[in-house]
């Protein structure tokens, strides 16, 4: 059962990194339809719970569901999906795999979550939307602002991410109004 199949609608947008790849497909689909068809192609997926806010979205999703089946996407289409995935992942400035080895943080910072929000701003090219989500959806005691620079997390990260250096950057950008930074601090 899949929740948030479009990541809060982000995957339904015409993402700059994905559009040129989708255009290579013989069968043209909307970004939302690509996401749905990939999910419904998986034999283990039985239910896709997608939020819809307009009648048009309901109608499009019904058409998408009616046209779906397990294994629908052919090898060429699956290769395009992989290419989009790699391209979008490559836009992330912080190479976090969300392994959670850095947790628990003694100051309760949810390190993988705040990094994920930071990466999303670049991947979905939506800094203002991500700022708003970060402020609303990440609990105050889990935000990067609570980092005390103890550096307990740093040696635990298999990706060698300078977590303690990123935390003030993330808070300044997502919790404040500092410009987005892609270079490692
Ligand atoms: S450096 Fe910051 S994020 Fe890392 S463990 Fe310490 S308080 Fe938590
Ligand atoms: S240990 Fe490193 S890669 Fe793993 S979740 Fe923490 S920051 Fe991300």
Residue-by-residue DSSP string for 10-64? GGGS--TTTHHHHTT-SS---HHHHHHHHHHHSTT---EE----SHHHHHHHHHH
The residue whose CA has the least distance to atom 4 of ligand 1 is 153
Which residues have any ligand 1 atom within 6 Å of their CB?
105-107, 109, 111, 147-153, 163-164, 167
Torsion of CA 112, 136, 33, 18, to 10 degrees: -60
The residue whose CA has the least distance to atom 8 of ligand 1 is 105
At residue 13, the pLDDT reads: 83
| pLDDT averaged over every residue in the chain | 93
The residue whose CA has the least distance to atom 2 of ligand 2 is 157
Residue listed under structure tokens 């950057």: 169
At residue 135, the pLDDT reads: 95
Residue listed under structure tokens 């290769």: 79
Half-sphere exposure of 44 (CA within 13 A, CB side): 1
pLDDT at residue 138 is higher than 80:
yes
pTM as predicted: 0.76
At residue 163, the pLDDT reads: 98
More confident of the two residues 33 and 10: 33
At residue 12, the pLDDT reads: 87
Write the pLDDT tens digit of every residue in 68-123. 999 999 999 999 999 999 998 888 999 998 899 999 999 999 999 999 999 999 98
pLDDT at residue 152 is higher than 90:
yes
pLDDT at residue 54 is higher than 90:
yes
Lowest mean pLDDT among 89-93, 130-134, 140-144, 164-168: 89-93
pLDDT at residue 10 is higher than 80:
no
**Which band of pLDDT confidence, cut at 50, 70 and 90, is reported for residue 17?**
confident
Mutation test residue for ligand 2: of 97, 155, 165, the one with most atoms within 8 Å of CB: 97
């Amino acid at each position: 059962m899949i929740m948030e199949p479009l990541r809060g609608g982000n995957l339904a947008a015409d993402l700059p990194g994905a559009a040129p790849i989708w255009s290579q497909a013989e069968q043209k689909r909307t970004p939302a339809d690509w996401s749905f068809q990939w999910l419904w192609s998986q034999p283990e997926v039985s239910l896709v719970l997608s939020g819809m806010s307009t009648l048009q979205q309901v109608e499009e999703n019904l058409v998408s569901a009616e046209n779906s089946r397990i294994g629908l996407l052919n090898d060429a289409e699956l290769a395009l999906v992989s290419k989009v995935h790699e391209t979008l992942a490559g836009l992330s400035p912080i190479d976090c795999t969300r392994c959670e080895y850095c947790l628990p943080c003694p100051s309760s910072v949810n390190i993988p979550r705040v990094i994920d929000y930071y990466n999303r701003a670049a991947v979905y090219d939506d800094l203002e939307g991500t700022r708003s989500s970060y402020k609303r959806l990440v609990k105050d005691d889990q935000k990067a602002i609570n980092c005390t620079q103890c550096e307990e997390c740093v040696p635990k990260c298999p990706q060698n991410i300078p977590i303690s250096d990123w935390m003030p950057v993330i808070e300044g950008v997502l919790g404040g109004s500092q410009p987005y930074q892609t270079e490692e601090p």
